[in-house]
Amino acid sequence: MKFILNLFFLFSVVVLSGCAHQISLNPDTEKLQVTEKKSASIVGYYISEDDIKKQVKTPGGGGDNVSYKPYKDTEAALYTVLSNKFENVYKIESLTDSAFLKDKNIKYVFIPTITTNSSSDSLFTWPPTEFTFTLNCKALNNDGDIAWNKEVKGFGKAEFDEFKSDFSLSAKRATEEAFSKLVVELDNSNL
């Protein structure tokens, strides 16, 4: 009987390892730091359709991976940060739509580039215990030149007792930290 249980356990580990479990990177936008220096400018942000659809896989625990859509998951956080800083914010469907940019009086267009990584020190649970979220955000002016470019990083950590009710906790902590740092960088800018 013990041999059969060991064989079943080994089979379960082989079958379950390599899976990609869905998590979400959505930070709680209510927790994002609020800007101290509001600007009267109207801005836009651009995320390509391919980026919105992009599915990313990074390591979790127990030999498994986690899967998520970084741009789709964090678009609301980007919008919130920009809305807190600027008078009005529009989502831009195309960078070449100069008529829309002119009609809405958009001064800058923000373009995010996101890279992520995750890991876990657990052999038995799949949620990542550590998550890194790097956000490079550039702003183009009306001539299409880069007027501002900053990179911020967020790091999130969560242990089993914390993430057993939210498997995405380390990722959410990382994105929240990165977007809070973006608020600071925008406050320190001349935009």
What pLDDT digit, counting tens, does each position of 126-174 carry?
A: 888 899 999 999 999 999 999 999 999 999 998 877 777 778 899 999 9
Under the banding of pLDDT at 50, 70 and 90, the label for residue 66 is very high
d(C-alpha 83, C-alpha 109), whole Å: 13
Q: Among 70, 55, 58, 77, which Cα is nearest to 24's?
A: 70
39-65 pLDDT tens trace: 999 999 999 999 999 999 998 888 899
| In the predicted structure, residue 7 carries a pLDDT above the cut 90 | no
Pairing relationship of beta strands 108-119 and 39-46 according to DSSP bridges: parallel
Give domain 41-187's CATH architecture. Answer: 3-Layer(aba) Sandwich (3.40)
How buried is 90 (Cβ within 10 angstroms: 0-12 exposed, 13-18 middle, 19+ buried)? middle
Contact assessment for residue 75 and residue 47, using Cβ atoms and an 8 Å cutoff: yes
Residue 16 has what pLDDT?
A: 46
Helix, strand, coil distribution of the chain in percent, nearest 5: 35, 30, 30
Inter-CA distances, 16 with 64, 81, 117, 178, Å: 8, 39, 21, 32
Contact assessment for residue 67 and residue 23, using Cβ atoms and an 8 Å cutoff: yes
d(C-alpha 112, C-alpha 120), whole Å: 27
Residue 6 has what pLDDT?
A: 37
| In the predicted structure, residue 12 carries a pLDDT above the cut 60 | no
Q: Among 191, 157, 149, which Cα is nearest to 177's?
A: 157
| Distance from the Cα of residue 83 to its chain's centroid | 17
| Distance from the Cα of residue 129 to its chain's centroid | 16
Residue 13 has what pLDDT?
A: 39
In the chain, what are the domain boundaries? 41-187
- Secondary structure E strands in 69-160: 86-92, 108-119, 130-140, 146-157
| Distance from the Cα of residue 93 to its chain's centroid | 20
3-state secondary structure at position 47:
coil
Residue 131 has what pLDDT?
A: 94
Residue 14 has what pLDDT?
A: 39
